[in-house]
Structure formats: structure tokens, C-alpha cells
Structure 1
Amino acid sequence: MPKRSKYWLGAGLVFGAAFGFALKGIFIKSAYQYGIDTISLLTLRFLFSAPFYIFIILRRRFKEDSHPVIPKITWLRVFLIGILGYYISAYFNLLGLNYITASLERILLFVYPTFVLLISAIALRKKITRLQWLALAITYLGILLAFLKHFDAHQQKNIVLGAFWVILSGFTYAFYLVGSDKLIAKIGTTRFTSWVIISAFLPTIIHCYYTNGLNIFHFPVEVFVLSISMAIFSTVLPTFMLSEGIKHVGSGNASIIASIGPIFTIILATTFLGEKIWAEQIIGTFFVLIGVFLISWKGKK
């Protein structure tokens, strides 16, 4: 396949992944309408998605003639980073959606590239340039614009608490991203993606057991339809589409393309959930996208 065609294929995959991830908030808010609690919904998401990742791991294992020896400490780091990124961060994210709209959640969650930049500066001693400081200021200004209008509207209960959980989700996810770079290089993108999802499944099951005794099969059938849809269209397909897309366009370009995510969520939330959208939110969203674009573009350069 020509190089240009591979690039556009990769861009299309990243674009599709962004759409899949944008659907997640819609599925979660829809499921909450049927009375399901946060940990039960997260457990069902993993219950329906984990078999796909197990199949991928087994298929690759039987397909490969030789298996590289990976140190135990590397596997331990993979499991820990998976728990951080897909159990702790995901749980905080779902908690936040109990209190705020899907469109605001996506805007707040998209602050994670700024956390990655700050963590890299502190932990890895990477210098933050003037352009990146400007990008940070633009991003947080956009979040403030979008957030204040929601707060004034009194449309959501405990909006500050919801925002806290979502921002904390973005913060922990940023640590996941910073810690995953070297691990992906050691064990490969597909294997890494599969194992981090599976490693998050066990603590989720334990959490659910201690919360409600794994009593997760009494909900209306609509909850299971939404859970299966979230597992397939907002977990399995997007993770592999994003991984494959990054191979063709690079992580910098992928992060720029994926920044369309909040726009998708606003459109979907308005269409399917009937959420109100204000001019301040649109302006704030574009500020966030500009800031993230500058951070991602500078990182690529």
C-alpha cells in the first residue's frame, strides 16, 4: 500500500477510535437511567470486553513461533499500569458521570494531555516551552468557560463533585500514559493493550464483590445491551483501531486527530440525551481543542 494511502488509513482508524470513545459517555449516562450503580456497570463493561482481549492474546501466542522472554518486573509494571489506567481511572470517570453531563465530562477529561505535559516536566525533567505554557493557559481557560455556564445553570447535582472525579480520572490516566511508553516498546502495542485491560478486570471484580456480592445480573435487559455496546464500540474496537492508527500516522498526529472527540460527544449528547449546549460551552470546547492541539503538535515536533 502506498505511503500516503497508509497515512489516510491510519487517520481514518484514529478518527473512528475517537468516535468510539466519544460514545462511552452516552452509553454510561443511558445505563444510569435504569438504576445501575457505578461499579456494576464497570464490571459488566469488562465482563463483555475481556473475552476479546483474551482471544487476541491466545491467538498471537499460538501464531508466533517464538516468544521473547519478558522479565517478570516488566509484567508487574504492565499489571500495575493497567490497574491505574483502566480500573482506577475508569472508575473515577464513571463516578463523575453520576453528577455531570456527558458533554462536560468529555471536555474535562480531555485535560489529560496537559497533565501528561506537567508530569513529564516534573518526573522526566522535560522543559516546558513558552508555546506549551500558552497552550496550557488556553486549555484551562476553555475548561473554565465551559464549566462556569454549567455551574450557573444549576442543571446538574453536585457538579463540583462530578468535575472533581472526572479531572482526577484524567490525572490518573496521564500517569498511565507516561508509564506506558517504555512498556509498549518492550512487549508490543497489541499485547500491551490486551494485558492492561485484563489486569484491570480482577480488581474490578473484587471491588464489585465487596460492594454488592457480584449481584450484577438483575438489571433490565437494556442495561446489558448498553454494556455490550460499550464493551464492543467504546472499548475493544477503539483501543485496537487507535493502536493500529498510531502505527501509520504516529502518536503526535494521532493525538491531534483524536482531539475531535469532545465535538463528537457534544453532538451525540445533544442528539441522544437531550443535553443543552450553550455558546460558552462551544467556545470553551474550541479553546480546549486549540490548547490540546498545540501541546500535541509541539510534542510531535
Structure 2
Amino acid sequence: MTDRTKYLIGAFLIFGAAFGFALKGIFIKSAYQYGIDSISLLSLRFLFSAPFYLFIILRKRYKEESHPIFAKRRWLYVAFIGFIGYYVSAYVNFLGLEYISASLERILLFIYPTFVLLINAFLIKRKVSRLQWVALLITYAGIFVAFMKHFEVHQQKNIALGAFLVILSGFTYSFYLVGSEKLVNKLGITRFTSWAMLAALVPTLIHSFFYNRLAIFQFPAQVYVIALSMAIFSTVLPTFMFSAGIKRIGSGNASIIASIGPIFTIILATLFLQEPIWLEQIVGTILVLTGVFLVSWKGKK
């Protein structure tokens, strides 16, 4: 296989993963129309996803390290990272979508690379270049432009709360990315993601038990079709496609190609949810993507 063919396959995989992730908000908003709550929908998503990740883990068995204490600490850390990155981040994201549109959610969520940059700057003391600071300003200016139009039209209640929850989701997910860097090198992207996903299933089911005694199988049949579709097409397949794409073209190129995600969501939300598109939203999205592109590109240089 030539390098060009390898790159094209990798780019196609990342492109497909971005499309799959973009579908998530569409699935969630569609399921909400049938009266399901956030934690029940999240529980169904993880339950339907779990068999696929368990299969990957069993398929990729590996030898444990000879130091059991270190191994136990490592698995506890994996569980904690999964708790933060998938349970906490996903739950507040699902909650936020109760108040804001799918297209705005995707724009807000997509600023997580800027959070990664800031966490690395203030906690790990990595130097931030002048261009990256400019990129941050461009990104947040884009958020402001895209966000203010929603206040003007007064079409969504509690939009500030929804936006805060989605931004919080991106913030917690950025801690997951920073904290998982060393673990990914030891376990591999696919294996680590599988363990983290399964770790997030436990607190999700516990939360659902205290909220509704796990009464998650009493909704209309359409809910389970949507939840299964979200598990396959917006969780499992994009995860594995993204991992395979990174192996072929690298994380820097992958992050740049994946930046088309918010565009996908805006188009899909218009087609399937009849969400309006405004000029301010388009301008804001372009600014956000430009800022995120500069952050990702400069960070990989």
C-alpha cells in the first residue's frame, strides 16, 4: 500500500468518524421528542455500546505488568478518567441538549481543544505561543457571535443554562484528553477507549437506579431504535474509525479533518430537526473552526 493510499484511507476514516459524531446531537434531540430523560437515554447508549467494547477488550488480551500495585493504580486511573470523560462529560452534554439546539451544542462543544491548551498551559506549564493566544481569541469571538443570535430570537428557554452545561461538558472532556495521554501510549487508543467506556457504564447505571430505579425499558419502541443507532453510528463506529484514522495519518491531521464536524451537525439539524440557520451562526462557526484549526495545527508543529 502506497503512502498516498494509506493517507486517503485514513482521511476517509476520520471524515466518517466526524460524520458519526455529528449525528449524536440529532439522535439525542430526536429521542427527547418521545419523553425520555437524559440519564435514561445515556444509560441506553452505554448499554447498547458495551457489548462492542467488551468484544474488543477480549479480542485484544495482553499480559499484565509484573507489579500488581502499579497495575491496580493504573486501572483505578483508567476508571477515573472514564468517569470524568464519558459519564460526567456525556451526562452534562445530554442535559444541555434539553435547552439548546443541536447545531449550537456542537459549536460550543467543539471548543474543547482550547481547554486542552489552557490546561496544559496552567497545570502542566507548557508554553503557549502568541499565535495560539490569538487563536483562542478568534475561537471565543466565534462563540460569542454564534451564541448571541439565539438570545435575540428568544426561541429557546434557559439557553444560558444549556450553553453552560455543554461548555462544562467540553471542559471535563478536555481533562479526560490530558489525563489519558500516558495511558493511551501504554494501552493503545482502541483498548483504552473500550475500558474507559465500560468504566463509565457503572456510574451511569447507578445514577439511573437512584433517579428512576433503572426503569429504562418502558419508552416507545422508537426510543430504542434511536438509542441503538446512536450507540452504533455515533459511539462505537466513530470511535474505532477515528482510532484507525489516527494510526494512518497522525493525530494532527486527524484533528484538522475532524473540524468539519460542526458543519455536518448544522446541515443535519436543518434537514432532520428543522433548526434554522442564521448568518451569525455561519460566521461564528467559521471563526470557531479557524481558531480550533490554529490551536491544533500550531500545537502539532
C-alpha distance in 2 between matches for 1:84 and 1:196: 9
How far the C-alpha of 1:92 sits from its partner, in A, is 0.5
CA distance in 1, matches of 2:232, 2:60: 20
Is 1:257–2:257 an aligned residue pair?
yes
For 1:97, the equivalent position in structure 2 comes to 97
Code of the aligned partner of 2:14: V
Aligned to 1:166: 166
Whole-Å separation in 2 of the counterparts to 1:250 and 1:68: 28
Separation (CA, whole Å) in 2 of partners of 1:125 and 1:202 = 34
Give the Cα separation in 2 of the matches to 1:157 and 1:218.
Answer: 28
Report the Cα distance in structure 1 between the residues aligned to 2:46 and 2:216, rounded to whole angstroms: 12
Residues in 1 aligned to 2:4 and 2:196: alpha-carbon distance in whole angstroms: 32
- Name the CA distance, whole Å, in 1 between partners of 2:190 and 2:108: 28
Are residues 1:296 and 2:291 paired?
no
Distance in 2 separating the partners of 1:28 and 1:100: 12
Look up the equivalent residue of 1:44 and give its one-letter code: L
- The equivalent position to 1:67 in structure 2, one of 34, 38, 63, is 63
1:4 maps to 2:28: no
Q: Deviations over 1:148-186 (max 9, x none)?
A: 001111111100000000000000000000011110001
**Alpha-carbon offset, residue 68 of structure 1:** 4.2
Count the aligned residue pairs. 297
Alignment of 1:79-118 (within 5 A): 79-118=79-118
Residue segments in structure 2 that go unaligned for 5+ positions in a row: none
Root-mean-square deviation (CA, aligned residues, Å) is: 0.8
- 1:222-261 maps to which residues of 2 (within 5 A)? 222-261=222-261
Structure 1 residues 83-109: Cα deviation after superposition (integer angstroms, max 9, x where no partner): 100100000100000000000000000
Matches of 1:118 and 1:300, distance apart in 2: 15
Contact 2:16-2:241 at 8 Å conserved across structures: yes
| 8 Å CA contact 2:64, 2:71 repeated in 1 | no
Cα distance in 2 between the residues matched to 1:174 and 1:123: 13
| Cα distance, 1:58 vs structure 2 | 1.0
CA deviations 1:250-290 (Å, max 9, x no partner) are: 11111111100000000000000000110000000000000
Residue 185 of structure 1: aligned partner: 185
What does residue 212 of structure 2 align with? Answer: 212
TM-score by length of structure 1 reads 0.97
Equivalents in 2 of 1:75, 1:279: separation in Å? 47
1:120 corresponds to which residue?
Answer: 120
Structure 1 residues 175-228: Cα deviation after superposition (integer angstroms, max 9, x where no partner): 000011110001111210100000000000000000000001110000000000
* SS of match in other structure, 1:71: helix
Unaligned runs of 5+ in 1: none
Tell me the equivalent position of 2:199.
199
- Return the alpha-carbon distance in structure 1 between the equivalents of residues 3 and 77 of structure 2: 35
Task: For residue 56 of structure 1, report the CA deviation from its aligned partner.
Answer: 1.0
**Mapped partners of 2:277, 2:155: distance in 1:** 12
Assess if the C-alpha contact under 8 Å between 2:31 and 2:223 holds in 1. Answer: yes
Deviation of 1:40 after TM superposition, in Å, equals 0.1
* Structure 1: 4+ residue segments shifted above 6 A: none
Residue 73 of structure 2 aligns to which amino acid in structure 1? I
Q: Shift of the alpha carbon at 1:133?
A: 0.5
Structure 1 counterpart SS, 2:288: helix
Q: CA deviation at 1:3?
A: 1.4
Matched to 1:274, the amino acid is Q
Alpha-carbon distance in 2 for matches of 1:43, 1:122: 34
Deviations 1:132-159 (A, max 9, x none): 0110000000000000001111111100
Counterpart in the other structure of 2:278: 278
1:17 is matched with which residue?
17
Which residue of structure 2 lines up, in the alignment, with residue 50 of structure 1? 50
Q: Percent identity?
A: 71
- Residue 134 of structure 2 corresponds to residue 134 of structure 1: yes
C-alpha displacement of 1:72: 1.6
Over residues 23-72 of structure 1, what are the superposed CA-to-partner deviations in whole Å (9 max), with x where a residue is unaligned? 000000000000000000000000100010001111222xxxx6242722
The residue type paired with residue 204 of structure 1 is: T
Alpha-carbon distance between aligned partners in 1 of 2:132 and 2:212, rounded to the nearest angstrom: 45
